[in-house]
Amino acid sequence: MEYIKLFEDYNQGLTLYHGSFYKFDRFDFSKLSKQGSQNTYGVGVYLTDNIDYAKSYISGENGSIGEKGYLYEVVLKPNSNFLFFGESDNTHHKIDPKNLQLINNQLKNENIILKDSKGNPTEITQDDLVWNAFLKIKDHIYYNNFTIKQHFNYGDFYSKKEAGDFLVKCGIDGLKYPMGSKIPSAPDYGYDGYSYVVYHDIFDKIRIIG
């Protein structure tokens, strides 16, 4: 029952951190950056459970030296639900059965038949890895909802945003993925823990702590 355990582990309220050069008291989703490097795992608010990693975005390491930055403590609402990438073992990356059912139920409710870049029907199954499941939704939107010209202008940003919006309708709040030594196949920048991308407002508390 490994998948059930994983689901229960992250299906709870969380305290996370966010580093920014902007001072605010709430996250405004209408002001999210359209820069690709800030939307890798979808369009949303990026958070981490590693406070030192959050600080790196305002220390000059990942941010701009000389600017005043702010460190935020962010508390999520209880029972927040994330698609979990898992660790380095690929079996942990597969989508958990409960979220798979949520996604496929929503596809059925909206009469959506997913199609790939060639227009061929595709499905999300128990064999899909979490990231592949997100990409199948994103690519369906990208290739089937936008023209070639729109692809170059803003298709990637909006297809990622709409894929996140679709997951929210499924009852999924965002993605959770490991950092550092938790995933040996990825570059290790000296930070362990997990990062999260949140696709909509599930914040209980936001306060500046540094």
Look up the CATH architecture of domain 2-208. Alpha-Beta Complex (3.90)
- 158: confidence class by pLDDT, cuts 50, 70, 90: confident
Alpha carbon 161 to its chain's center: 10
Q: What is the mean pLDDT of residues 25-45?
A: 82
What span, in angstroms and rounded, lies between the C-alpha atoms of 41 and 3?
21
What span, in angstroms and rounded, lies between the C-alpha atoms of 192 and 66?
26
Are the beta carbons of 134 and 83 closer than 8 angstroms? yes
The reported pLDDT for the residue numbered 121 is: 95
In this predicted structure, the answer to whether residue 186 has a pLDDT above a threshold of 50 is: no
Nearest residue to 44 via CA among 170, 130, 161: 161
In degrees and rounded to multiples of 5, residue 123 shows phi and psi of -135, 165
β-partners of residue 94 are 129
Q: In the sheet that 45-48 helps form, which strands lie side by side, from edge to edge? A: 82-84, 174-179, 193-198, 45-48, 15-20, 70-76, 203-208
Question: Under 8 Å CB-to-CB from 163, ≥6 apart: which residues?
Answer: 42, 134, 137, 138, 141
By mean pLDDT, which of 65-69, 88-92, 119-123, 142-146 is the weakest? 88-92
In this predicted structure, the answer to whether residue 96 has a pLDDT above a threshold of 70 is: yes
The reported pLDDT for the residue numbered 56 is: 86
What span, in angstroms and rounded, lies between the C-alpha atoms of 122 and 202?
31
SS3 readout for 153-164: HHHHHHHHHHHH
What global pTM score does this model have?
0.84
Q: Would you kindly state where each structural domain of the chain is located, as residue ranges?
A: 2-208
The DSSP H or E segment spanning 62 is none
By mean pLDDT, which of 151-160, 166-175, 189-198 is the weakest? 151-160
Instruction: State how far the alpha carbon of 140 is from the alpha carbons of 91, 99, 112, 137, 159, in Å.
Output: 25, 19, 10, 5, 8
Q: What is the mean pLDDT of residues 14-41?
A: 84
Instruction: State how far the alpha carbon of 27 is from the alpha carbons of 47, 78, 104, in Å.
Output: 12, 18, 30
The reported pLDDT for the residue numbered 39 is: 82
